[in-house]
Amino acid sequence: MVDSLLLVDDEDGIRRVVAITLADMGYEVFTAASGEEAMRAFREHHPPIVITDIRMPGMSGIDLLRAVKLESPDTEVIMITGHGDLDVAIESLKLSAADFINKPVSPEVLEIALRRATERIEMRAKMREYTENLERLVQEQAARIVDYERQKAAGQVMEGLTQALQGLSKDFAGDIRFFNDLPSFVSLHDRHGTVLSVNRYYKDRLGDKVGLGSWEVYKNGTDAPDGSPVARTLATGQSQHSREVVVCVNGNDHPVMVHTVPIRGANGEVELVLEISGDVGEVRRLQDELRNTQQLYRQLFDETPCAIALVNPDLTIAAANRRFRKEFGEHEGALCHRACHGRNDPCPECPALLTFKDGQSHRLETQFLTCGGGRINALVWTAPIRDAQDRVVQVLELAADITEVRRLQEHLTSLGMLIASLSHGIKGLLTALDGAMYKVNSGLAKGDQTRLTEGWESVTQLVGRIKGMVMDILFWARKRDMNIQDLDVAELLGGVADSAGPKAEKLGVSFVREFQSGLGRLVGDPSVLAPALVNLLENAVDACVQDTAKKEHRVVFRAYRKDEDLVVEVEDNGIGMDRETLEKLFSVFFSTKGSKGTGLGLFIVRKAVDQHGGDIEADSEQGKGSVFRVFLPLSECA
């Protein structure tokens, strides 16, 4: 939870007002009047968020951003900009600023920027927690595997111990009490297979078998006495290793791993046999626990909602989870940079290489190439995997998909840039609207009908332009669901023509309808399609009005069927466009109308056509006119 931040502004009034707003939001606010004072406060309080003005005497906001990021890359910095600071604000985004907001600072905009910065901080914290948990789990599993290997080695140690007992055979006095503290079944047998002595652990668990045959301790041993481990040792003169089942004093069966070793006399003949049986029940329990833990580890590994890969020192992929395989395919054994980036050489600033080098975790924001050919933005964290000698033998790479976060950030940033660039245009329209309203009021006061009519026409035109700007901005800014309907094409196009035709006639432009009969039906959202087509028609009318070289102008609204598609054409003989303008025509924020346009109209038209599975193209020649063609799929029943 982010509960404190640093506010930096050289204007005392702005600093006080914004600080009060931030305090009302629940933040502990530290303030500074300059970049130098801000760095001292930052080093003292370590706030996770810094809000700073860009233009300040001495150390500017950009310089402060660089200094903060150098000392604490995870600190989120929000820039406050004034009019004319767009280029500087964009530069701040390149330096990893979290966001920028315009003066005067709106509490709503400030709250949105803080919420986004807080979400980034919390996402990094969750990523760090995922990495630490996975690293801890891997270390625990490695420790368990080591323990299991030690258990396995115990049998081998026991065998070596029995071999060493051969040297003690000459001094054997008929007692093995020195094995009493050994947690294994230890017994000594003569050349006839009779039990001579047992240790305490044997006696407590299996009973006192002294004087009995060595085979009687085993389940079904009496059925095959010559098949017992001791009998085989006496027969072959060789040590034996086998898995057997003994019967405990309580009647329960107990699995054991049996090791026997012959003890020879002076003549080289086998005089005694030492038998040591290890309890394999505990080994089985550890094996089961290991399998369960491995299964849990694999499940956690696969179900983590991030792409995870285990990378070797040569940057080959040792293992990958389900999310990684889904995004990048089966690439175990392949080079990491080849699988994720399509590169032949290691990536610059590769976090895995840095972790192999210094043994520390590293973070990198990068772009990955998926197996489907798409690209995703990802935040990558690395963690070292160490062996028993504390050497980094592998690196765990965890990548979180932040494509949607970046898309939303870019959308909001571009929207902010749009609003800033349109502010002076809207201001000019409002000033002109004041003049038109003054003319209306003057006409009313003086009873001048001509002046009143001219003023009202200006008001209507200016209000329409402002409405168009605002609707374009709203359409670009919001995400809306399609209201799909079965539409009669002729009815839809007739309504569009009725909306755009009067404007053309009023401005002296001939408006011609050329609709083929039997156009059929299509499936779509009329509230999206109709405004898009009206936009094309109004653009055609404007192109004619701007052309002063011709005496007569006309706009042709044409529709016909071509195979399974509906083709809608808007043709005009206006000013036309050059090749460079034609290539940029459908780009966002590009306008052929200069300050009178938003740069969103044709971009929104293309978006509307794309949403209906169609296509749009344009041909134009400067000085002669333009034609736009929209292709829309007709419904099957059309």
pLDDT digits (tens, 9 = 90+) for 363-420: 888 888 888 777 888 888 899 988 878 889 999 888 888 877 777 666 565 556 556 5
Q: Of residues 70 and 159, which shows the higher confidence score?
A: 70
Cα–Cα distance measured from residue 18 to residue 405, given in angstroms and rounded to the nearest whole number: 27
Q: What is the pLDDT of residues 83-117, one digit of tens each?
A: 556 677 777 777 888 888 888 888 888 888 898 88
The pLDDT confidence band at residue 155, using thresholds 50, 70 and 90, is very low
Q: Percent of the chain having pLDDT more than 70?
A: 80
| SS3 call for 351 | helix
In what side-by-side order are the strands of the sheet with 240-247?
A: 195-198, 185-190, 270-279, 253-264, 240-247
Q: Rank 139-143, 156-160, 580-584 by mean pLDDT and report only the highest.
A: 580-584
> Which among 220, 231, 243 is positioned nearest to 195, based on CA atoms?
231
Mean pLDDT of the chain: 80
Give Cα separations from 20 to 7, 58, 276, 371 (angstroms).
11, 26, 80, 51
Helix-strand-coil percent breakdown of the chain, rounded to 5? Answer: 50, 25, 25
Q: What is the pLDDT of residues 49-58, one digit of tens each?
A: 999 988 888 8
The 3-state secondary structure of 186-244 reads EEEEECCCEEEEECHHHHHHHCCCCCCEHHHHECCHHHCHHHCHHHHHHHHCCCEEEEE
pLDDT the model gives residue 480: 55
DSSP 30: E
* Number of residues written out for the chain: 638
Are 54 and 93 within 8 A, CB to CB? Answer: no
pLDDT the model gives residue 172: 42
10 Å CB burial of residue 368 (0-12, 13-18, 19+) is buried
Are 456 and 440 within 8 A, CB to CB? Answer: yes
Kindly report which listed range (34-48, 143-157, 189-203, 265-279) carries the lowest average pLDDT score: 143-157
Are 533 and 542 within 8 A, CB to CB? Answer: no
Q: What is the pLDDT of residues 325-338, one digit of tens each?
A: 888 888 778 888 88
Q: What is the pLDDT of residues 293-306, one digit of tens each?
A: 777 767 766 777 78
For 146, other C-beta atoms within 10 Å of its C-beta total 11
Provide φ and ψ at 211, rounded to 5°.
Answer: 90, -10
